[in-house]
Amino acid sequence: MMNSIIVLGVILILAILYLIFRVGSLVNVAKGDSGSKVERGNDVHGLLFIVFMVVSLVGFFWYSYVNFDNYTLPIASEHGKVTDKLFWITMGVTVVAFTIISIVMFVFIYKYRYSENRRAAFYPDNHYLELTWTIIPGIVLAVLVFTGLRAWNDITSPPSKNAEVIELIGQQFAWTARYPGKDKELGNVNFKLIDATNEFGLDLTDSKTHDDFKSLELHIPVGKEVLLKIRAKDVLHSVYLPHFRVKMDAVPGMPTHFKFKATKTTQEMRDELGNQAFNYEMACTEICGQGHFSMRFPVVVDTEEDYERWKLSQDSWLKSNPDYMKNVPAGLRESAMIKAGIPVIQEVKQATAVGSN
Amino acid sequence: MATTATHHDIHHDTHTDEHEHHEGNFWTNYIFSQDHKVIAKQFLITGIFWALLGGILSVIFRLQLGFPEASLEWLRPVLGGWITADGKLNQEFYLALVTMHGTIMVFFVLTAGLSGTFSNFLIPLQIGARDMASGFLNMLSYWFFFTSSVIMFISLFISTGPAGGGWTIYPPLSALPQAISGSGLGMTMWLVAMALFIVSSLLGGINYITTIINMRTRGMSFTKMPLTIWAFFFTAIIGLLSFPVLFAAALLLIFDRSFGTSFYLSDIYIQGQALAHEGGSAILFQHLFWFLGHPEVYIVLLPALGISSEIIATNSRKPIFGYKAMIGSMLFIAILSFIVWAHHMFVTGMNPFLGSIFMLLTLIIAVPSAVKIFNYVTTLWRGNIRFTPGMLFSIGLVSFFLTGGITGIFLGNSAIDIQLHDTYFVVAHFHLVMGSASFFGMMAGVYHWFPKMFGRMMDHRLGVIHFWITFVGVYMVFFPMHYIGIAGFPRRYYSFTNFAFTSGFADLNMLVSVAAILTLSAQFIFLFNFFYSMFRGKLAPANPWNSNTLEWTTPRNPQHGNWPGEIPAVYRWPYDYSKPGAKEDFIPQNVPYSETPESNLPHENDQIKLEGSGDSGSIVIGPKH
């Protein structure tokens, strides 16, 4: 019932609009040709453009000013300060250019609207003018390019030797992190070894894997360079740490990396924002399937001591999955147990001995 | 001219000469026509159909983004199972909508609908040719496009849904049906449709280039060609060089999907199974895709810029400022468009050194773009501006080109792009600079050349209402997205409820959605105006805008062959508007200098003796003053 009333209403409105249109057309025909080269109301458009320009420019500046804190994210990384500075410099340059060109254009449109008494100027070219506005944008862009290049080269320069290495793995639709353990080196992985438990595809013949541990939160130390090694299991994903200005795709078959240095711990950021519920977050920014929008990974920035303490409190993957000891080559089992933090009990020692015989 | 002869051969006994139609039956005149004007209209009407569909798809996903709590149960009669039991949009279908919206708008509307329509319609008419070099290839071009359209359209209705991996169809997502259901049959159909589309585009492009080079009328040197023709010429060359690369990319993807090769796939473990693919590179696809993908931006944009150059000059009653600079900047843009593609890939894991190079090249392209904007503004300066709907849409184009282009300076800077990549800032940028600007170019073209296409005028008032709602609406849709993007909101998200940093801006998202609905609704005003005026509009004079180019020297409804008598010769450039001393404020291209001694510049007087005698008699239908 309701639906048919709506349909009827719409039809009625359309019919009325059509009638208005027809009556308007007929009135126009009756009035006859005004003899002018432009349609009636030509001036109105010039005025409307000015109104549009004023309203939208005022709205733009007003909204940008009032809501500044809402659309800017706090910065929590060293290179983030640099890229944000570049962003705002570029914003300054472009907003000035944009505002001037917009005003000039809309004022011309208004000022030079059709008038019967005037004839347009025959002004086909002016080489000096054209050279000027080729060279000036050229110079401005060159400056922006070179400052950008310097920042980009710094950001993508090789990581330092003692950077904290952490691996991030993307899969539909979750992230996991792998830490290298005490040996500070990530062990080898092979996608063919992946199964429901061995989700990293750890190659346990490599002793470096034995102390690796898994985490469902990204913990990073403040003030120390972190090297994220990034890979994906199934399709493309992208590591996005908005507060750290970090973004790098996760590609199956091609490990990628991104290095950065966090400048504020979670607690410091909470205090600064006056929001004790604040948490850093990591998201996915490369379309990866239906759960793309939900790949949240919690991020915690600790002080260096807290970070070391947290690492010590984590069990190695091998310790949590002792069944996989069978995949460790017999000769490495004892050292694996020591590395993984599994108490070496006699029984296993014997088994190891038998295995190696 | 061979084509007109062919038409006489297939002369049919049911032909009627009641009005302006040339011989042939309904099928040869309107369906399998080889007349470039009919083919242009076919492209236009198919393009309008796709634009409407693409717009509707975007409004559906904007409903989800703007009103995440609302029940979409009322869409069930249309979308069926894609509405979940609790009245929400299915998450995979959301991605399919985004993907199809992008594919449809970029390829089917702004490439085929824009270039297909206006290259076909204007090239022969503006250079003074009877038809395209090959009317038959031209017809094939449309029918390949049509077949492609049918396949793409059917893919919307299959049970696993259309392609859903984004319009860029990055593998592995697009290669693995187990990763997303749209990568099953839907993706196969996408690839087949695009392969046909590329064939259509190449057939068209070859034809455009050949026609422009070989079939210009007497006197129509390259430096006397209207900027529209220059734009179509560059566009066709770009397309010819870049579309085959997409074809190769798609072909390799087909191999990976169906024949077990590993061009793009490597080290994949999905749904409890390690796949056999090894040694492929997902980045390779991105390089190949963007080798087309970036030039594609200019394939979409250049025709719109050409159209607006022509319309702005005509309606400012002034020569376009810096004709040669305009050609030069288009040439420069066309060349640069091939060497900037990797700026789409700064954070894909590509070697950062490549990033530096591509950043440098990318920001260079801003210079010719800036030159174009300055030249448009200077063309308006001291003009005598008539606000026809075509002119309004062209002004809108310049405004969008400025607003959207300037944000490219942020995104082209790789250091800044780290944060902005794949956020709404990018969405705002390309929708303004490429989507809306080109769409406005297309609209401007339709309003401006409608009288030549259908012999009738479109309604002026409806046109200006359509413009103002759309102009303001487009800004309301895309401008707020800059803020959302700076705030870090990633694109292609079904909802923003999972993250604290995306918890704000529900208000802006709602505004964007409301504006999108409003803007789409306004397009029905255009549709009504378009179809109504086609049959009931005021009869158009032969040259309603007092324009200089050759198409306006044809009769009101040009038949196949365009000019009833001899093709007019060309003596001057197309922008002699408001020339000092001239009686009228325009002098068409086919008026020799010997007839306008009062307005000739000194060097033009020297041209008179080269003009030969009696050539001016070739003007069959004089311009209506």
Burial per residue of A83-116, b for 16 or more beta-carbon CB atoms within 10 angstroms, e otherwise = bbebbeebbebbeebbeebbeebbbbbbebbbee
pLDDT at residue B9, rounded to an integer: 39
Contacts of A143 in chain B (CB under 8 A): none
Answer yes or no: is pLDDT of B623 > 80.
no
Place of tokens 């963007």: B290
* Parallel/antiparallel/unpaired status of strands A174-179 and A164-171: antiparallel
A198: left (phi over 0), alpha (psi -120 to 50) or beta: beta
Cα–Cα distance list, B98 to B46, B167, B254, B264, B424 (Å): 21, 8, 22, 23, 13
Q: What is the pLDDT of residues B53-93, one digit of tens each?
A: 999 999 999 999 999 999 999 999 999 899 999 999 999 99
How far away is chain A from the Cα of B455, in angstroms, using its nearest Cα?
Answer: 18
Q: Which residues contact B339 (CB under 8 A, 6 or more apart)?
A: B358, B361
Q: Do A234 and B483 touch (CB under 8 A)?
A: no
Under the banding of pLDDT at 50, 70 and 90, the label for residue B15 is very low
CA distance A257 to A166: 10
Answer yes or no: is pLDDT of B478 > 50.
yes
Q: Do A124 and B323 touch (CB under 8 A)?
A: yes
Q: Do A191 and B267 touch (CB under 8 A)?
A: yes
Answer yes or no: is pLDDT of A252 > 50.
yes
Compute and round to an integer the Cα radius of gyration of chain A. Answer: 33
Q: Do B347 and A249 touch (CB under 8 A)?
A: yes
Q: What is the pLDDT of residues A73-121, one digit of tens each?
A: 999 999 999 999 999 999 999 999 999 999 999 999 999 999 988 899 9
Phi, psi of B386 (to 5 degrees): -100, 125
CA distance A261 to B14: 81
Q: What is the DSSP letter of B321?
A: T
Looking at the domain assignment, is residue B596 inside a domain?
no
What is the percentage of chain B residues whose pLDDT exceeds 70?
Answer: 94
Quick one: average pLDDT of A30-41?
75
Of B282, B322, B385, the CB nearest to A130: B322
The helix or strand, by DSSP H or E, that contains position B307, with its residue range, turns out to be: helix B282-316
CATH for B400: 1.20.210.10
Helix pair B227-258, B185-214: axis angle to 10 deg: 150
pLDDT at residue B256, rounded to an integer: 95
CA distance B478 to B488: 16
Q: Do A148 and B382 touch (CB under 8 A)?
A: no
Q: Which amino acid is at A52?
A: F
Contacts of B462 in chain A (CB under 8 A): 21
Q: Do A123 and B381 touch (CB under 8 A)?
A: yes
Q: Are A183 and A208 in contact (CB under 8 A)?
A: yes
Quick one: average pLDDT of A279-287?
96
Q: Which of A73, A115, A236, A276 to mutate to test the interface with B (most CBs of B within 10 A)?
A: A236
Q: Which residues contact B115 (CB under 8 A, 6 or more apart)?
A: B204, B232, B235, B236, B239, B299, B300, B303
pLDDT at residue A33, rounded to an integer: 67
Q: Do B499 and A118 touch (CB under 8 A)?
A: no
Compute and round to an integer the Cα radius of gyration of chain B. Answer: 25
CA distance B470 to B393: 9
CA distance B270 to B259: 18
Measuring CA to CA, which residue among B116, B145, B127, B148 is closest to residue B36?
A: B116
Of B173, B267, B383, the CB nearest to A236: B173
Looking at the domain assignment, is residue B523 inside a domain?
yes
**Can you say how many angstroms the Cα of residue A164 is from the centroid of all Cα atoms in its chain?**
22
CA distance B296 to B287: 14
Q: What is the pLDDT of residues B248-296, one digit of tens each?
A: 999 999 999 999 999 999 999 999 999 999 999 999 999 999 999 999 9
Looking at the domain assignment, is residue B472 inside a domain?
yes
Structure tokens at B27: 């099928």
CA distance B166 to B152: 15
Of B173, B317, B416, the CB nearest to A287: B173
pLDDT at residue B606, rounded to an integer: 84
Cα–Cα distance list, A176 to A24, A101, A199, A302, B540 (Å): 67, 49, 9, 19, 68
Which domains does chain A show, CATH number per domain?
45-112+128-157 (no CATH), 164-317 (2.60.40.420)
Cα–Cα distance list, B289 to A85, A303, B509 (Å): 32, 44, 31
CA distance B489 to A78: 22
* Residue-range definition of the domain harbouring residue B201: 33-266+275-536
Answer yes or no: is pLDDT of A135 > 90.
yes
Looking at the domain assignment, is residue B512 inside a domain?
yes
Q: What is the pLDDT of residues B421-434, one digit of tens each?
A: 999 999 999 999 99
Q: Do A45 and B384 touch (CB under 8 A)?
A: no
Contacts of A25 in chain B (CB under 8 A): 459
Q: What is the pLDDT of residues B35-48, one digit of tens each?
A: 999 999 999 999 99
Q: Give the count of domains, chain B.
A: 1
Of A86, A113, A194, the CB nearest to B416: A86
Q: Are A203 and A189 in contact (CB under 8 A)?
A: yes
Q: What is the pLDDT of residues B601-615, one digit of tens each?
A: 888 888 888 876 544
pLDDT at residue B22, rounded to an integer: 52
Answer yes or no: is pLDDT of B2 > 50.
no
Cα–Cα distance list, B513 to A47, A292, B440 (Å): 28, 21, 20
pTM: 0.93
Say whether A230 sits in a helix, a strand or coil: strand
What is the percentage of chain B residues whose pLDDT exceeds 90?
Answer: 87
Q: What is the pLDDT of residues A183-201, one digit of tens each?
A: 999 999 999 999 999 999 9
How far away is chain B from the Cα of A51, in angstroms, using its nearest Cα?
Answer: 12
Q: Do A48 and B410 touch (CB under 8 A)?
A: no
ipTM of the prediction greater than 0.90, yes or no: yes
CA distance A318 to A302: 25
pLDDT at residue A346, rounded to an integer: 55
Place of tokens 């199972």: B81
CA distance A148 to A329: 50
Looking at the domain assignment, is residue B206 inside a domain?
yes
Q: Do A246 and B418 touch (CB under 8 A)?
A: yes
Looking at the domain assignment, is residue B601 inside a domain?
no
Q: Are A148 and B359 in contact (CB under 8 A)?
A: yes
> For B583, how many CA atoms within 13 A lie in the half-sphere containing its CB?
6
Q: Which of B384, B410, B492, B508 to mutate to test the interface with A (most CBs of A within 10 A)?
A: B384
Q: Which of B414, B505, B604 to mutate to test the interface with A (most CBs of A within 10 A)?
A: B414
Under the banding of pLDDT at 50, 70 and 90, the label for residue B23 is low
Measuring CA to CA, which residue among B366, B337, B333, B359 is closest to residue A146?
A: B359
Please give the mean pLDDT across all residues of chain A.
91
CA dihedral B469, B472, B476, B481 (to 10 degrees): 120
Answer yes or no: is pLDDT of A353 > 60.
no
Answer yes or no: is pLDDT of B117 > 60.
yes
Q: Would you give the end-to-end CA distance of chain B in angstroms?
A: 30
CA distance B393 to B135: 31
> Looking at B22-31, B244-253, B581-590, which range is the least confident one?
B22-31
Q: Do B406 and A94 touch (CB under 8 A)?
A: yes
pLDDT at residue B208, rounded to an integer: 96
Q: Which amino acid is at B436?
A: S
pLDDT at residue B19, rounded to an integer: 44
Q: Which amino acid is at A144?
A: L
Q: Which residues contact B355 (CB under 8 A, 6 or more apart)?
A: A152, A156, B342, B346, B414
pLDDT at residue A25, rounded to an integer: 82
